[in-house]
Structure formats: structure tokens, C-alpha cells
Structure 1
Amino acid sequence: MDNAATTPVKKEVLDEMLPYFTEKYGNPSSIYRLGREGKAAIDDSRNKVANAIGANPKEIYFTSGGSEADNWAIKGVAFANKKKGNHIITSKVEHHGILHTCEYLERNGFDVTYLDVDENGIVDLKELEEAITDKTILISIMFANNEIGTIQPVKEIGEIAKKNGVFFHTDGVQAVGKIEIDVDDLNIDMLSMSAHKIYGPKGIGALYIRKGVKIHPHIHGGAQEKNRRAGTENVPSIVGFAKAIEMACENIDEHNKKLIKLRDKLIKDIANNISHVKLNGHPEKRLSNNVNFSFEFIEGEALLLSLDMVGVAGSSGSACTSGSLDPSHVLLSIGLPHEIAHGSLRLSLGDFNTEEEVDYVVENLITIVDRLRKMSPLYENVKEDK
């Protein structure tokens, strides 16, 4: 139940990758047959990724994943356009791949505006437009939030950016394969993608860069990726990524229909059977597979460990498991107090989850929450007040 963190590689994807480890292993820069086979595989993969988002294949650049794509988009545009301006706009609920990159740029002479979001995690379009100055060079707002599943008004954000002559980047890591995307229709200039969120291999992703975007090369060295990202290409993973995105986008409606049914059942069953809970994220404008609840009077880490003991993998709104005592920046940004944000749980569904598994999770959640709350003096006080 943690498919937003990662997904298994589907058999069809693995089968597509295997020949490029042993049989067609040539360096794509080599001119002999083995090399040409690798080059042809990359070209074919670039076409598939481009088709999935309505782009031109020449606008697709392969990376090691979403974080690298985010870093390249932000830093690359910032340093390439610093003579025009030094102002960047983003939001407070972005992935750390964006936030930490923006913090780095702030230490290097750039100004960054971090937009607030409402209680559902959506940016205010009026505030966005008012934040634009004659020094603004880039807007970066994520497509869909990785924690609470909220989908941003991407098309409207793109229109604002285009009208004001500002580049627009969106972190689409959670959205690709779950939402139909046409970069031209949505006015997107750059889009980050990652394979392992859509049943592809880890360590491979891509950055869509619209033709005409002024951006610095990311890695210097060889001539790979049109002289913008040096290094011998990871052919097997590129092929796997292409197969994964092709499969995800071919069956996107079918995937979503199943996932929405399971998601809504999970939300309903938790809300109906456990008291003092709050659904985080927009109730309708949310990813088809995302469920995020805050459970009052409970620590998220204890909830996660208890679920793990019964074979359920989830993610907490608390960052305790990553060595920090601070609750999620996303949950704090939507207005949750620290004590409630600490008791949050994200369950994210995937293609292989079943209705029986949803029932199993809810059944165990009821028992676990009851047991943990019996240890909470705060909960005992609430019961006595009632």
C-alpha cells in the first residue's frame, strides 16, 4: 500500500529490458552493429516517452530519475537566464527535489517566492500572478502532490506563465501514467518524470524541455543527450522506462477506474469505522490511488511499525522514519497542527492491490488505532470529557 514510494517492475517491462544487459549490450556511441542497436533502442524509447505526453522526441532528455530532472530544470534555467532575472516562484508543498534546489539557489544570489496553499493543498492563482515581477524567470509547481494526492490547476498555471513570458516547470513524477498529459495543451515548458512510479526500473527518468527553453547543460563531458547530459546511456533502463510509460498511458482509464474504486472504498471504510480522523488533500481533485488520513492521538511512526508487523506497507505524514522529528512540511502547509500532522498515514494503491487487501488493511487499522489510543492520556481525556 505504498505505491507512491515505488512500484514493482512489471514482467513485460523486465522482458523488454533483458536483451540489453547481455545480447545488445553495445555502447550507443559506438558505430558498429552492437552500438547501433543500443542507439536505435534509445531513439525508439524517446519516441514512446514523447508520445505519452504529446511532445516531440527531440524534447525528451533521459535522466537518473525525478530528482535529477527537478534539479536540472531549476538550476539549468536559473543560471542560463540570470541576466534576465533572478526570481523563481514555487510552492510550499513541493517535493524536496524542488525545495532543496531552490534553497541552494537562494544561497547563490537568487530570490525565491514560496506560495502558500489552501487547506486542500492548492495554490491560489491570483497570488501566483501577483508574485510575478519583471525579474521572474521560472515558475515550478508540481502536477500532483506525492503526499496528499492533490492535483494542481496546471493548465491555468501554464497560461499565467505563458502570458507573462515566464518558463513553467512541473514535477510530474506522481502524475505521469495516472493523468492524461498533453504538454502543449497544458502550456508546460518542462516536465519531470520517473520510471519507478509506473512499474518501471529505479534510477531512470526524463526531463521534457520544450524547444526554445534557455537552459544550461546538466552534466559536461560527452555529446550524449544532445550535448546537454554527458555519460554513457543506461540503455536497459531507458528501454524499461519507455515500455512502462507506454503501458501506463495505453490503459490509463482502465487503471484509474479500478484504483478510484479501491481508493474510495478505503476512504469510506476508514472514515466510517475509526473516529477522530481527517482526510488530507482535495476530496475530488486528487490522484486516483492516494489516501492520506490524520489519526488524532497517535504517532505516525507507531502506526507504521504496527502495520508493518501485519504485513502492510504504508508511509507516514511524520518524517520520524527518516531521522527527523519534524512532521511533514506538506501537512503543516495545509494548516494541520504538529500533533495531528505527526499522526498521519499515506496509503497509495497500485495495479496489483485487491479489494480483499483493502478490507484487510481497514480491519487491522481499526485494531491498531484502538490499541495505540488506549496508551494515549490525551485520548482518555477526550473520552472522559464526552
Structure 2
Amino acid sequence: MIYLDHAATTIMSTEAMETWIKATQNYFANANSLHEAGEQSSQLLLACRNKLASLVNTTPEQVFFTSGGSESNYLALNSLYQANKHLGNHVITTAIEHPTVHSFFQQMERQGVEVTYLPVDQFGLVSMDSVKKATKEDTILASIQHVNSETGVIQPLKEFGSFFKANNIIFHSDCVQSFGKTPILLPTIGVDAISVSSHKIHGPKGVGAVFFGEQVKWSSVYPLTSHQRGFRPGTLNIPGIAAFTTAAMDMYEYMEDNWAKAKKLREVFLTELKPLEDRLKIEGHPTHQLPWIIGLAIHGVQGQYMLLSLDRFQICISTGSACQSEELDGSSAMHAIYSTEQERLRFFRISFGKNTTLEEIIFVTNKIKEIAHE
């Protein structure tokens, strides 16, 4: 099997798997229990918080664990809104956010909150000008994703962060696709909270995290909850958190090498598809681009047909976000970028992992060319 759907989920690394097994065997106790076994689990949890906090330059007290990126988005946004809703009634997001982010803001609209959905240009980028025009005196919260899961476009968070900070607007970013692949330092880029997920970086499923900046105010959305200072109820998944931490540390240690490898694979992939250039459209931006993700379309070939045809050769790709897999007419990002249903239906996505090889890329591009010529 050739697996090229890492933007949906990654293959768990050997190191993360070994950590998970060891923690399951030796740190099975509830970290809130007062006996020695519980204290040992608590110490492991603290060590994980320390390591993860160091990666984004925040304090361990501002690291909160969740069940994954979707819950991280919802809890981060809801907690921030609850703490700051008395300051205004206007919030900002974009037209290309993850469904969980859009779900939260649609819920806010039903409660009478004014929501502005920022558009994107032909590259999928949000402009600074549109951010400034959307901002009002009573704007209290903004959420702009770092990297789009379908096109790989990187938004200029630092530029947005500086503006929001100057205007006392809380800034959240969905960093599920970027965490572990490019540096994210909260104070440097001016982001107050980010959402991340373990299974996007070769860690286990069912684990995610929210990182808050040191001075950020948030309020619990769960009354009477004592776990994680009220952020999220439930016994913590210590083995999963330990394996997630191992995967994150590994991704950060080899970040530059992984980026260079992904960039090379991307270059080879696009070069091999040159014979199709008259029919080929590559989505994204020339410079603001995560190399791991390639969103593309071939005139005359539906993305679903390409997916099923490649699947016959045990090649796994995607037609977009796995969270929107039942939406045949495309996700919010597809609607923001493409104006017609026909264009949206052509789209498919290739996404690399740290173990993707050059040989696999050449084999896959040959199959894509064969299918396109049929």
C-alpha cells in the first residue's frame, strides 16, 4: 500500500507506539489519584506538559489535553468567548475554516452574535486589508486557521496577530495541519490560543491539545468540572498523551530535515506531472505553502474517479477533508476557491508523511498520468 492521505491521519510512528505501550503498562493509574501509582501518572503528565509547552513557548499550566483537533477547536473558541463576551458582540473567522470552527461560529450567530466570514483570494489567502475592514469597535475574537488541510496554504499569522494584539482582540488559530511541521511560537506570532492534534503528526488518535498564551483569559464551559482546572471533564488518557508528546518531540527534532524532504517530494511530484500541464491546476500559493499537501485538479477527471482508480492499485489519496467526506459538492474551502460544482468535483489531494519515498511518488504520478489519459 502507498499511503498519501496524511492530512487526514498519519501512520503512528514506532517511537510513539513504544511509548504508548510502556505508559499503558506502567502508568495506568488515574493522575488525580492520591496513591503512589497515581502520583507517578501525575509526574508523567507534568513532564509531557513541560515538553509540549516548550515547543510553542508557553507555560505548562496553559497546556490542556483534549480528544483531538475537533474538540480542541470547539473548547478553545468556546472558552475564550465565554471569558470575553462582555466586551463586545462581533467575531471574525474565514470562509475556509474547518467544519468544527464554522459550527461554533454558526452557533454564535444563532445566539445573536455578529459573525464576519473573511473571503480568500485566488490562492486561498486571507488579506490583511480584509481583516482590517472587518474589524469593529466591538470585535472581541478572531479565528484564522494556520494551514488549510486541502490546499496547504499558509496564512500570515504573525501579520494578523500583530494587528489583533494592537486592537485587543483575542486571536485563535487552528494549527492542526501546521503543528510539528513549521515553528509556532505563541508570543512571536501574536496568537493567544492554538488547537493541535496528535494523529496528524504520527501520534495516536483520540488525543489533542489546546495551548493558551500566558496572559489569556478563558472560562470553563463545563460547570463543576475539576479536571484540568475546569477546561475539560474526564480522566486523562496518560498513555495517549505520552505517545503524543513523543511524536511531537520527534517532529520538532527533525523539522528542518522533514521540510526539506517534503519540498523535494513535492518538486518531483509536480515535475512528473508536467505532461498534463495543459489540463492540470495546482491549488495553493507560490511561497505561502506547506509542501506536504498538494491540492490539484485535472480537467476532464473527477476527483472521486481519480481516488477510486488509484485505490485499485492500493494507493490512498483524498478528495478533501476527511471530516467532509460525505459532502460530494465539496467543503467550505472548495466553495470559497471554486465558483462551480464542476470545478469542485475535479479536486483531489495528495498529502505526504515523514516516511513517504521518492519511489512511491514516481509510481503514483505514473498512475495519475495513465488514468488521466484514459
Counterpart amino acid of residue 46 in structure 1: R
The aligned residue for residue 163 of structure 1 is: 166
The aligned residue for residue 70 of structure 2 is: 67
* 2:270 is aligned with 1:267: yes
335 and 169 in structure 1: CA distance in 2 versus 1, 3 angstrom threshold: same
- Total equivalences in the alignment: 371
323 and 352 in structure 1: CA distance in 2 versus 1, 3 angstrom threshold: same
Q: Matches of 2:92 and 2:183 in 1, distance apart?
A: 25
Map Cα deviations across residues 165-198 of structure 1 (whole Å, 9 max, x no partner).
0000000000011101111110110010101000
**Is the 1:10–1:200 contact (alpha carbons within 8 Å) kept by the matching residues of 2?**
yes
What is the aligned counterpart of 1:345 among 348, 353, 363?
348
Q: Matches of 1:320 and 1:59 in 2, distance apart?
A: 28
Matches within 5 A, 1:76-155: 76-155=79-158
Q: Identify the range of structure 1 (19-28 vs 338-347) with the bigger mean alpha-carbon deviation.
A: 19-28
Q: Matches of 1:210 and 1:321 in 2, distance apart?
A: 30
Counterpart amino acid of residue 334 in structure 1: I
Deviation at 1:221, TM superposition (A): 4.5
The aligned residue for residue 18 of structure 2 is: 15
Other structure's SS at 1:134 match: coil
Other structure's SS at 2:196 match: strand
Q: Matches of 1:323 and 1:251 in 2, distance apart?
A: 35
320 and 24 in structure 1: CA distance in 2 versus 1, 3 angstrom threshold: closer
* 2:332 is aligned with 1:333: no
Q: If you compute each CA radius of gyration, which structure gives the higher value, 1 or 2?
A: 1
Counterpart amino acid of residue 131 in structure 2: L
Deviation at 1:115, TM superposition (A): 0.3
Matches within 5 A, 1:268-283: 268-273=271-276, 275-283=278-286
Displacement over 4 Å in runs of 4+: 317-321
* 2:212 is aligned with 1:237: no
The aligned residue for residue 302 of structure 2 is: 299
Other structure's SS at 2:27 match: coil
**Is the 2:5–2:351 contact (alpha carbons within 8 Å) kept by the matching residues of 1?**
yes
What is the aligned counterpart of 2:29 among 26, 44, 69?
26
319 and 225 in structure 1: CA distance in 2 versus 1, 3 angstrom threshold: closer
Q: Matches of 1:182 and 1:80 in 2, distance apart?
A: 23
Map Cα deviations across residues 260-288 of structure 1 (whole Å, 9 max, x no partner).
10011112222334531100011221112
**Is the 1:220–1:230 contact (alpha carbons within 8 Å) kept by the matching residues of 2?**
no
* 2:43 is aligned with 1:40: yes
Q: Matches of 2:68 and 2:300 in 1, distance apart?
A: 37
Matched residues, percent identical? 33
The aligned residue for residue 226 of structure 1 is: 229
Other structure's SS at 1:185 match: helix
Matches within 5 A, 1:359-370: 359-370=362-373
The aligned residue for residue 186 of structure 1 is: 189
The aligned residue for residue 3 of structure 1 is: 6
- Gapped runs of 5+ residues in structure 1? 372-386
Cα RMSD over matched residues? 1.7
Other structure's SS at 2:304 match: helix
Other structure's SS at 2:228 match: helix
Q: Matches of 1:91 and 1:98 in 2, distance apart?
A: 9
The aligned residue for residue 215 of structure 1 is: 218
**Is the 2:150–2:321 contact (alpha carbons within 8 Å) kept by the matching residues of 1?**
no
**Is the 1:270–1:362 contact (alpha carbons within 8 Å) kept by the matching residues of 2?**
yes
Counterpart amino acid of residue 53 in structure 2: A
Other structure's SS at 1:180 match: coil
Higher relative contact order (CA 8 A, sep 6+): 2
Q: Matches of 1:67 and 1:110 in 2, distance apart?
A: 22
183 and 321 in structure 1: CA distance in 2 versus 1, 3 angstrom threshold: closer
The aligned residue for residue 289 of structure 1 is: 292
Counterpart amino acid of residue 187 in structure 2: D
Deviation at 1:242, TM superposition (A): 0.7
Deviation at 1:344, TM superposition (A): 1.0
Map Cα deviations across residues 336-383 of structure 1 (whole Å, 9 max, x no partner).
532122111110011111111001101111111122xxxxxxxxxxxx
320 and 341 in structure 1: CA distance in 2 versus 1, 3 angstrom threshold: farther
**Is the 2:12–2:204 contact (alpha carbons within 8 Å) kept by the matching residues of 1?**
yes
The aligned residue for residue 58 of structure 1 is: 61
What is the TM-score of this pair, normalised by structure 1?
0.92
Deviation at 1:222, TM superposition (A): 4.2
What is the aligned counterpart of 1:202 among 202, 205, 210?
205
Counterpart amino acid of residue 356 in structure 2: N
Q: Matches of 1:14 and 1:32 in 2, distance apart?
A: 27
Q: Identify the range of structure 1 (35-44 vs 273-282) with the bigger mean alpha-carbon deviation.
A: 273-282
- Gapped runs of 5+ residues in structure 2? none
Deviation at 1:55, TM superposition (A): 1.4
Q: Matches of 1:180 and 1:81 in 2, distance apart?
A: 28
The aligned residue for residue 379 of structure 1 is: none
**Is the 2:266–2:291 contact (alpha carbons within 8 Å) kept by the matching residues of 1?**
yes
The aligned residue for residue 311 of structure 1 is: 314
**Is the 1:306–1:368 contact (alpha carbons within 8 Å) kept by the matching residues of 2?**
yes
222 and 79 in structure 1: CA distance in 2 versus 1, 3 angstrom threshold: closer
Deviation at 1:320, TM superposition (A): 12
